[in-house]
Amino acid sequence: MMPLDLEILEDMEKEHERFDILGRIANAKFPVYLIQGTEDGDKRRNGSASLAAKHTRTQWIQVPSGDHTFGTVHPFRGETEPLKQAIEASKEAIRSMLQASF
C-alpha cells in the first residue's frame, strides 16, 4: 500500500478511463514485455496474468527465484543472479522491439 494524496485519488476517479490499464491494453498496437520474478507476490503475479490475458502478444518473461526487486536491497549491494537475468531479458526485449516493425 502506497499512500496517495487526495488530489491523485480525485484525478484517478475523474480520469478513470485513462488509468484503466486492463481496459486499454487489449487494443495496444505496441509490444508488451513483462519481466517479473517467479517469487513476486501473488497480487502482482495475478495482475501480470490479467495483463497477459488481455493482450495476447504479451511476452511475460519470468525470472526464476526473483522477487519484486530481483533480490536486491537498498542500499544497493550489487547484482544478484535474478537481477542479471532481468537485465538480460530487458536488453533482449529492447533489441527485439528495435528489429520489429509494429
Q: What are 31-74's pLDDT values in tens digits?
A: 899 999 999 999 999 999 999 999 988 999 999 999 999 999 99
Angle CA 17–101–55, to nearest 5: 35
- Maximum separation of any 2 CA atoms in the chain, in Å: 43
Angle CA 51–94–2, to nearest 5: 45
Query: Which cell is 87 given?
Result: 537485465
Q: Comparing 5 with 60, which gets the higher pLDDT?
A: 60
Does 97 have pLDDT greater than 70? yes
pTM of the model as a whole: 0.80
How large a percentage of the chain has pLDDT more than 70? 94
